[in-house]
Amino acid sequence: MTKHSGVVHQTETSAALPGDLPAVAAYGLRVVRGRHTVLQDVSFTVPRGCIVGLLGPSGCGKTTLLRSVVGVQQTTAGHVQVLGYAAGAPQLRTRVGYVTQAPSVYADLTVLENLRYFAAALGMRGWRREDAVVRVVKEVDLASYADKLVARLSGGQYSRVSLAVALLNKPDLLVMDEPTVGLDPMVRRELWLVFQRLAEEGTTLLISSHVMDEADRCDRLLLMRSGRLLAGADRETLLEHTGCDDVEEAFMHLVQAASDAEERARRRAAEQSLLPALPGFLDQGGAPEAERTYFAADTAR
Amino acid sequence: MSGVRLAERLPFSPTITGATAVRVLQQISRDKGSTALLLAIPCMLMVLLKLMFHDSEATFERVGPQVFGIFPVIVMYLVASVSTLRERTTGTAERLLTMPVRRLDIVLGYSLAFAFLALLQAVLSTLLSIGPLGLDIKGPAYLLMVIAMLGALLGLALGLLVSAFARNEFQAVQFLPAGVLPQFLVCGLFVPRDEMYGALSAVAKAMPMTYAVQAAGEAATHTGVTGLFVRDALLILGCVVLVLVASATTLKR
Question: What is the average per-residue pLDDT within B95-112?
Answer: 87
CB A255 within 8 A of CB A225: yes
Residues of A in CB contact (< 8 Å) with B are: 70-72, 88, 90, 93-94, 96, 98, 100, 102, 104-109, 113, 116-118, 120-123, 125, 149, 165
Q: How confident is the model at residue A279 (pLDDT cuts 50, 70, 90)?
A: very low
d(CA A294, CA A152): 45
- Mean confidence (pLDDT) of chain A: 81
Question: How buried is A150 (Cβ within 10 angstroms: 0-12 exposed, 13-18 middle, 19+ buried)?
Answer: buried
Helices (H), B31-176: 32-52, 57-67, 71-89, 92-97, 103-130, 142-165, 169-175
Nearest-angstrom CA–CA distance, A54 and A117:
30
Measured CA to CA, the distance from residue A297 to residue A254 in angstroms comes to 7
Segment A194-200 mean pLDDT:
90
Average the pLDDT over A188-213 and give the result: 88
- Minimal C-alpha gap between B82 and chain A (Å): 14
- The SS3 of residue A7 is strand
H or E, element range at A174: strand A173-177
Contact at CB, B100 and A71, closer than 8 angstroms: no
Q: How far apart are the first and last CA of chain A?
A: 33
* A106 to B101: CB separation less than 8 angstroms, yes or no: no
The minimal CB distance from A121 to the residues B90, B94, B99 is found for B99
Contact assessment for residue A233 and residue A221, using Cβ atoms and an 8 Å cutoff: yes
Query: In chain B, pLDDT over 70 holds for what percent of residues?
Result: 96
Distance CA A60, CA A38 (A): 8
**If pLDDT is split at 50, 70 and 90, which confidence band does A4 have?**
very low
Q: Is B20 on the interface with A (CB under 8 A)?
A: yes
Q: CA B159, CA B243: separation in Å to the nearest integer?
A: 10
Q: Which of A124, A51, A128 is nearest to A94 (CA)?
A: A124
Q: Indicate whether B85 pLDDT > 80.
A: yes
Of the listed ranges B3-12, B50-59, B210-219, the least confidently predicted one is B3-12
Chain B nearest-CA residue for A87 = B98
Cβ contact (<8 Å) for A121 and B253? no
Closest by CA position to B113, among listed B172, B156, B176: B156
Contact A230, A223 (CB under 8 A): yes
Q: Report pLDDT for A174.
A: 92
Does the structure's ipTM exceed the value 0.90? Answer: no
SS3 A245: coil
Q: First-to-last CA distance in chain B? A: 32
Query: What is the helix (H) or strand (E) element at residue A161, kind and residue range?
Result: helix A155-167
Percent of chain B with pLDDT over 90: 6
| pTM of the complete model | 0.80
Q: What is the pLDDT of residue B188?
A: 75
Is B253 close to A108, i.e. CB distance below 8 A? no
Cβ proximity of B158 and B243 under 8 Å: yes
pLDDT digits (tens, 9 = 90+) for B220-235: 777 877 888 888 888 8
